[in-house]
Amino acid sequence: MEKMSRRELVVALSSFAALGGVASLAQTQSGQGAAENTGKKTSTSAKQDRVLDQSQTFQYAQLPVTNLPNGGTQRKVISGVLPTGEYIEVHETVLPAGKMPHPPHRHRNSEVLFIREGKLEFLNNGKPEPVGPGGVVFTASNVLHGLRNVGDTPASYFVIAISRAEKET
C-alpha cells in the first residue's frame, strides 16, 4: 500500500471538509437539516441524524458559536450521515492559552485536526508531540489522545470526525 504524502492528505481532507461543509448552510440559515428536506434519516445510536445529500455554501461568520466551559469557543460546521454511509462531524475550536478541550481520551471514531493558529501539544498515545499553524493531526480509532494549548495566545483548529454510521434500529 502506497503512503499518501502530507500534501495529498491535506488536499484530500480539505476537499472532503469543503464538500461536507457546504451542506451546513441550509441548516444554519433555515434551521432545517437536509434530512428534513428530503425525508431521509439514518440512525447513529439512539438519535436520528440528517443525511447530508445537498450541496451548499456557508459563511464562517454565520456559523453558530458555543461558549465552552474552559473559556474557549466552538463553531459547529456540519454533522450528519453522508449518502455513502459515513457519519461526519466538523467543528472549529478556539482554545485559550494553557487549556485543554477535555482530558485525554479514546473513542471509536477517527479524527483529523487542521491547526490554524497557536502552539499546541498533541498527546499521541502518551507521547507529547508539538504541532502549530498548518500542522495536521490524525487520531486513530481507539488510540489515547489529547490536546493542550502550550502557547501564550489562543489556538484555533478544525476537527473532522469520521466514523461508520450505525445500522438503523
pLDDT digits (tens, 9 = 90+) for 93-104: 999 999 999 999
Between residues 31 and 111, the one the model is more confident about? 111
Closest CA to 145 of 117, 120, 119, 118: 120
Residues 86 and 84: their CA atoms lie apart, in Å, by 6
- Give CATH superfamily name and number for 6-164: Jelly Rolls (2.60.120.10)
In this structure, the number of other CB atoms found within 10 A of the CB of residue 83 comes to 11
Q: Which three cell numbers stand for residue 63?
A: 456559523
Gyration radius (Cα) of the chain, Å? 16
Domain chopping of the chain, boundaries: 6-164
Chain-centroid distance, C-alpha 126 = 22
Kindly write down the DSSP assignment for every residue of 50-83, as one continuous string. Answer: EB--------GGGS-EEE-TTS-EEEEEEEEE-T
Q: Which residue has the cell 485543554?
A: 100
pTM: 0.71
pLDDT tens for each residue of 144-157: 999 999 999 999 99
Q: At 3, which amino acid appears?
A: K
Chain-centroid distance, C-alpha 70 = 18
Between residues 73 and 32, the one the model is more confident about? 73
